[in-house]
Structure 1
């Protein structure tokens, strides 16, 4: 069980204290909603594409467009320094609510694209700022455990969110999940107004300076450990690209080759959610004990193996799902380790690092959203496997020789 220290605030925004444990629970529930919204395109891509009267490749590019909005995460990180974490988190929740409502109302790809842009901006403003909020409150030796607990939401989104989404689509059609998610995000927007502010930035970081090339360069300054910090961010992008290359296409793969419908795809998503949860829990338990970098390298190696085995296991639905389980377990184990590893690469710039990590991850997933469905259309599972396994091989080399466990 996590310790239960109070969160103290400063400034005019101060609210009653709230324990870290309670904050993690609130964040976990909110992330369950946002992560369900992010993941629902993976298993249900062909269903949503049919509803929008387009192809899976085009729908995948809508997902890529949403992911590209994550490149603006550093700007939201800067605003969090200026205005406080709570303000930016609430803004993100409101944007996401409006965006997914528009997607649910869409009758064309172009209107859906507008909704995806707003949904992406909102989601990727909220998530890294929540991580930075918690990172500032947790000591380094407990950060993998604390942030790992928050990351259970990604797994629970598969176990609960996507399974229920499959049932909802089967009963009411593809639009229904978007309306439900929009309503829940609006509720969260209201609820987060009661959270305490927790502004952590130093005065030097928050000072307003005129826009110039020098100010842009200064924004990307990460201190004395900058080489390791930037390599850690690059590895985050590679890990996400390799994973999303496979996961954005698995719904189309299983639907096309094994005939799985929405309910069956939701069941597969539930199984993969259990794999995600197992990976998150294991990293939370062993990451601090065995060292974050060492644990991340081990997870990356297992992911490389999992992606590499997919064509070999594509001999039947059971073996295909087993291959996906291995890959998803390793992916989530590695993601939780990356979050904690990145958070300590430049402690004086933690909020900036977390938003840069979000931008890096979304650059990777945006690239994968653009190429993954096309690769499957052209080269099937073998193409997905070769690309993802190769990327993981590069990541292992970078982690081994260029990334430190933490700033000295």
Structure 2
């Protein structure tokens, strides 16, 4: 029997697979550099450009307001599977195409999941639902990273791609079986259709803040593996363990949003997360030759990022209640531009100035995000 809880569980499990496909690349960039005979700057440049595929969620938003959440979610999983198969070709151009297809899939299934929650869960309890859904981001590292590290050691760099292709196909079948069919969302009596409702001016602050929070986190995370390898000599196995530790602290953060976010308040939660992020970035910047301080600072950074970013998604989901899918899609598109810029610029700054260059960019993003959320009314 389908229940909202079982449906959310199925969606969350499927998103673990898609997030693993997206997240494993950053910590294992040194492995992929060797596999494709290229550099960190080349791969992060490709990843940054491919992030622009998330702009397609602007077109997806109106479809979500018409009730096509499951259909878009399953199509996204299909793209994840296709991406993994394309990457098996083993060339830099194939990686570029694969990563673009991956971004198309993950971006659209993510906004479909958020719209599914927003259309079914009252705002007073939405932090719990979104926090639960976003534990998938952390589990992808906590469980996925060590498994993929083992596959790399066992069969080489192609192992993760084969496993993820199979996993995405299975996840799509589970969603079809356990999540109810799509149904149209009718606007309240006397109101215009969602695509004709203008977004309120108050919607922009949380959307801008969420985009810049994502930029701060992703810009750092994508070069974290290269930083730990270059500056502290971590092996592939060591990177897998550190990535799992990242996943653990992120899981605690997401779970904290799920259990405490509604009581604390989404806006206050976001601001608190940004403060913790800043403390972690400071630790990273003063780590020097200390591997322990470097890893500790990165863990604190990711704790604050995950808590703040997941909390920001609750604010975005209520930014425009009468055009929720459109607002979520537009917010994701804004985040896409911010993340793409962050990945590209952060990678170039890392190659030119080391982690201090990347952290300077992060400080700017986090400061502007803090100001945007401070100006937000909710």
Residue 65, structure 1, aligned to residue 49, structure 2: yes
Moved more, 55-64 or 142-151: 55-64
TM-score (norm 2): 0.94
Asked if 1 retains the 8 angstrom alpha-carbon contact of 2:75 and 2:105, the reply is yes
Shift of 1:206: 6.8
Distance 2:279 2:292 in 1: 18
Residue 197, structure 1, aligned to residue 171, structure 2: no
Moved more, 74-83 or 340-349: 74-83
The corresponding residue for 1:155 is 138
Aligned match of 1:185 in 163, 168, 182? 168
Unaligned runs of 5+ in 1: 1-16, 208-217
Residue 271, structure 1, aligned to residue 245, structure 2: yes
Asked if 1 retains the 8 angstrom alpha-carbon contact of 2:65 and 2:324, the reply is no
After TM superposition, list the pairs within 5 Å mapping 1:278-289 onto structure 2.
278-289=252-263
Distance 2:80 2:166 in 1: 10
Shift of 1:390: 2.5
After TM superposition, list the pairs within 5 Å mapping 1:232-311 onto structure 2.
232-311=206-285
Shift of 1:33: 0.6
After TM superposition, list the pairs within 5 Å mapping 1:72-87 onto structure 2.
72-82=56-66, 84-87=68-71
Distance 1:336 1:159 in 2: 17
Shift of 1:274: 0.9
Distance 1:200 1:144 in 2: 24
Runs of 4+ in 1 over 4 A off after TM superposition: none
Residue 44, structure 1, aligned to residue 18, structure 2: no
Go from structure 1 to structure 2 and tell me whether the alpha carbon gap of 1:205 and 1:91 turns closer, same or farther (over 3 Å shift).
Answer: farther
SS of match in other structure, 2:28: helix
The corresponding residue for 1:397 is 371
Distance 1:230 1:22 in 2: 33
Asked if 1 retains the 8 angstrom alpha-carbon contact of 2:107 and 2:332, the reply is yes
Residue 371, structure 1, aligned to residue 354, structure 2: no
The corresponding residue for 1:5 is none
The corresponding residue for 2:83 is 99
SS of match in other structure, 1:41: coil
Asked if 2 retains the 8 angstrom alpha-carbon contact of 1:159 and 1:272, the reply is yes
Moved more, 197-206 or 389-398: 197-206
Distance 1:112 1:26 in 2: 29
Asked if 2 retains the 8 angstrom alpha-carbon contact of 1:64 and 1:369, the reply is yes
SS of match in other structure, 1:43: coil
Distance 2:84 2:305 in 1: 26
Shift of 1:22: 0.4
Asked if 2 retains the 8 angstrom alpha-carbon contact of 1:147 and 1:336, the reply is yes
SS of match in other structure, 1:313: coil
Residue 136, structure 1, aligned to residue 124, structure 2: no
Distance 1:259 1:346 in 2: 47
State the number of aligned residues.
373
The corresponding residue for 1:13 is none
Aligned match of 2:332 in 339, 343, 358? 358
Shift of 1:50: 1.5
Alignment RMSD: 1.7
Shift of 1:39: 0.7
SS of match in other structure, 1:248: helix
Q: Deviations over 1:108-167 (max 9, x none)?
A: 211221112211111111111011112211111110011101111111111100111111
Distance 2:234 2:357 in 1: 21
Asked if 1 retains the 8 angstrom alpha-carbon contact of 2:22 and 2:102, the reply is no
TM-score (norm 1): 0.87
Go from structure 1 to structure 2 and tell me whether the alpha carbon gap of 1:180 and 1:137 turns closer, same or farther (over 3 Å shift).
Answer: same
Shift of 1:82: 4.3
Shift of 1:177: 0.4
Unaligned runs of 5+ in 2: none
Using CA pairs under 8 Å that are at least 6 residues apart, name the structure with larger relative contact order, 1 or 2: 2
Asked if 2 retains the 8 angstrom alpha-carbon contact of 1:81 and 1:199, the reply is no
The corresponding residue for 2:319 is 345
Residue 115, structure 1, aligned to residue 95, structure 2: no
Shift of 1:315: 2.9
